[in-house]
Amino acid sequence: MRTPVRDHVPSRPTWRCRACGIAWPCSPAKLLLLARYRGDMPGLMVHLVTLREEAAADRFAQHYPGAQPADLHRRFTDWVPIRSP
């Protein structure tokens, strides 16, 4: 019996990866996002900034004492290359 492949997508409101359980975006999610947005790094950045703001709102709503805005910035957007590869 085959185990279904699980996508590396965020689980809200924790913003941990549904597949591997680490902070999203995990390494596989980053690779998938880079492939999906190949040639459109500004589009990827807009997408990630939108998700980052949703994550911040979820954490605020849940009174989660964890990540600060700078931490979410590093986690969601600092890894995106400035130029398309």
pTM of structure: 0.80
17 assigned to some structural domain:
no
pLDDT score, position 66: 59
Determine, yes or no, domain membership for 13.
no
Residue 7 lies in a domain: no
Please count the structural domains in the chain.
Answer: 1
Structural domain span for residue 44: 22-76
Report if residue 11 sits inside a domain: no
CB 26 within 8 A of CB 20: yes
9-67 pLDDT, tens digit each: 999 988 999 999 999 999 999 999 999 999 999 999 999 999 999 998 888 766 666 55
pLDDT of residue 83: 64
Residue 16 lies inside a defined structural domain of this protein: no
Nearest to 44 by CA among 14, 6, 76: 76
The pLDDT of residue 71 = 85
Q: Are 61 and 13 in contact (CB under 8 A)?
A: yes
CA distance linking residue 59 with residue 83, whole number of Å: 31
Question: Is pLDDT at 3 greater than 60 in this prediction?
Answer: no
Cα distance between residue 82 and residue 74, in whole Å: 14
How crowded is residue 66: how many other Cβ atoms within 10 Å of its Cβ?
11
pLDDT at 72 over 60: yes
In a domain, 8, yes or no: no
- 67 three-state secondary structure: coil
In a domain, 47, yes or no: yes
Q: 81 lies in a domain?
A: no
